[in-house]
Amino acid sequence: MRVSRWLWSLSLLAAAFLLANNIPYPSASSQVLAPDLGLVSAQAAAAEFVPGEVLVQCRLPLPPAAVATILRLAGGAMVERNPTLGLYRLRLPEGVDVQQAAALYSELPWVEYAEPNYIVRAATVPDDPLYPAHQAWYYDLINAPAGWDIERGRPAIIVAVLDTGVDLSHPDLQFKIWTNAREVVGNGIDDDGNGCIDDVHGCDFVPLPPSSDPSDDHGHGTMVAGIVGASSNNGLGVAGTAWGVTVLPVKVLDSTGAGTASDVAQGIIYAAKSGAQVINMSMARPSPSHALEQAVNEAHDAFGVVLVAASGNEGQEGVGYPAAYPAVIAVSAFGHSDPNSRAPFSNWGPEVDVTAPGVDVYSTHLGGGYAMGEGTSFATAFVSGLVALLLSQDSSRSDDDIRAILRIASDDLPNGSTPNWDGWGRLNMGKALQTQVYQTVVPGVVRG
């Protein structure tokens, strides 16, 4: 009742002021009591602001004291005034919705604008001890801190890392590892029908039959997993790209870093059936495989998974597989000394979609340690991490939506002597997480 009286008083004050000053009352399309609250942007709705405060900028040719009186009568207690900007900071009555109040004030003809008193924070910089010396240079290049201000990832988003396995007890990863709630531990039955028995924290497809221990015996998969989603702001080691998401370990490569098309194909279907929304494949082979392509298409078409893979490390024209398949986002790598150019080892070609850091990348390693590496494998993990953040922001996004965002938000780079090496350009996390795409639902009619 108190809030409704305040809204009614505000509208009466507006009408009285207009009549007293011979100002025409607003048209029906802009009635004070019926602001279009649906036009409040999603970005504003998600922003942080001071509870119970509104900033109002007036355009009345009246002394500041008179304006302050009018605003106070409208229901807001003035906290402070900025004379240079003509800006008034108001405290609203208890229980009044800040965004609704700002929308109502904005409808008044003597108000230039009104908005919540938004909270502005410094760009998010992880406190992980290895971040400043080893990671900041490439995360700054891909605008990660601005992205983390917007989204850091949600545990409901699962990124399957198809690789050599993951060090499940690594301090920077152990709390990020997927737990299969649908599996009854130790009963020897594949309870959830995903192709692996008693798979509590992932599955190992090397060798067959599958086993429930996807521990890493090489190191590559643990580094990839750390780039995707190592815990951050925990006072340990390094920061992952999407430190709030869940990592699903799927071992499809052996201790030498090699695997078969059939193993990878099984791993893809397993990840899709287990609920992964993103599948990271930091691997490449020079020639196609029907089995691999079939698994990729099944995960993409039937399960709606976004698949990301490496272009290859031969330093030649020709993107490897599975990255070259149309259903997969193909990733190349840029360098460190010249981040506007292709890393010398990175393959290129028209199938490349985007480029990401691939040199001097620091991440988690076996035995709870950390290591530096290079390769399109690691560049791929950054893209998978950003895809996971985009899905954390809006889980309804499709593969087409993700590709459209990456295309719009990536920073174009020079071709140099290798055209098509960077695809849409260099990953830009901050820009991507501020990009909205809209799809045409009903075909339009064009009249000549």
Indicate which residues carry an active-site annotation.
163, 220, 377
Using CB atoms within 10 Å of the CB of residue 262, give its burial: 0 to 12 exposed, 13 to 18 middle, 19+ buried. middle
Consecutive H or E run containing 297: helix 290-303
Q: Please state, in angstroms and rounded to a whole number, the distance separating the CA atoms of residues 129 and 236.
A: 6
301: its two tokens: 């078409």
- Phi and psi at 123, nearest 5°, equal -55, 140
170: its two tokens: 């690594």
- Phi and psi at 131, nearest 5°, equal -65, -50
For 81, the 3-state DSSP assignment is strand
Sign of CA dihedral 339, 154, 251, 293: negative
Sign of CA dihedral 195, 198, 204, 205: negative
Helix count and strand count (H, E) for the chain: 12, 13
Other Cβ atoms less than 10 A from the Cβ of 5: the count is 11
CA 160 from centroid of its chain's CA atoms: 16
The full DSSP string for 101-165 is: HHHHHHHSTTEEEEEEEE---PPP----TTIIIIIHHHHHHTTHHHHHHH----TTSEEEEEES-
* Closest listed residue to residue 167, CA positions, set 222, 98, 105: 222
Sign of CA dihedral 270, 272, 273, 274: positive
For 254, the 3-state DSSP assignment is coil
Contacts with 381 (C-beta within 8 Å, 6 or more apart), sequence order: 161, 224, 225, 227, 228, 241, 280, 282
- Number of Cα atoms under 13 Å in the Cβ half of residue 340: 5
Any bridge partners for residue 53, and if so which?
Answer: 91
Amino acid at site 23: I
Amino acid at site 9: S
